Amino acid sequence: MEAPNRFTCPFVNSFFTSSILWGTIGPIKVFGHGGYYSMLLLGFPLGAVVALSFWWAKRRFPGQTWLRQCHPVVLLSGATHWAPYNVGYIIPSVPLAYLSWLFIRKRWLAMWSKFNFLLSASLSAAIAISGLVIFWAIQWPGVELKWWGNEVSYRGCESKTDPCRLMYVKDGEYFGPRLGDFH
């Protein structure tokens, strides 16, 4: 699908594509014995070990306050929501979250309790308003802004019609299992 203004939702698309792929090939061929992704099934026992180790550590060291802030589900699944995106979209929020949760909350809890939700809502509203202003004032009229942030992604391999490759495949060859080798 070609979105003229490049508005996409990669997280939803990636899971939709994965569900279609797994459903058409079949979960046994993908995750079963000898399947291509059967090693992913190790995530179930490893997830249990990680969760139980956090539970054990919290019981063993009750005085460690930083350990109460660690949650294994958030640590393991939180990054999967970032997978289709460029991490540059997420990184700017980390200093603000640190400042809000670990600095202001510890020193001025009453102010933090009263205004933190307001700060979060105002930052979200500012993003939405700036998106509208950028769309209607710059993108819709077709204004082109020439600066390094718009041009840097076209300076490397991405600007070429034939992408840069580390290895080339000879004519008639392809990556993946050979015909007849499928399960």
Contact (CB, 8 A) for 50 and 44:
no
Task: Check whether residue 47 and residue 83 sit in a common domain.
Answer: yes
| 167 domain residue, yes or no | no
The range of the structural domain enclosing residue 113 comes to 108-159
**Terminal-residue alpha carbon distance, the chain:** 31
H helix intervals, the chain? 10-25, 27-31, 43-60, 65-68, 72-77, 93-98, 105-107, 109-134, 148-151
Shared domain for 85 and 136, answered yes or no, is: no
145: in domain = yes
Per-residue pLDDT at 39? 87
Q: Is residue 176 left, alpha or beta, with left meaning phi > 0 and alpha meaning psi from -120 to 50? A: left
Domain boundary among 40, 66, 91: 91
Count of domains observed in the chain: 2
Q: Which residues have a Cβ under 8 Å from the Cβ of 139 and sit 6 or more positions away?
A: 5
Within a domain: 174: no
Per-residue pLDDT tens listing for the chain (183 residues)? 566 666 666 555 556 666 777 677 777 877 888 877 888 889 899 989 999 999 999 999 999 988 888 888 888 777 676 666 666 767 788 888 888 888 899 999 999 999 988 988 998 899 899 989 999 998 889 888 888 877 777 777 766 666 677 778 888 888 777 777 765
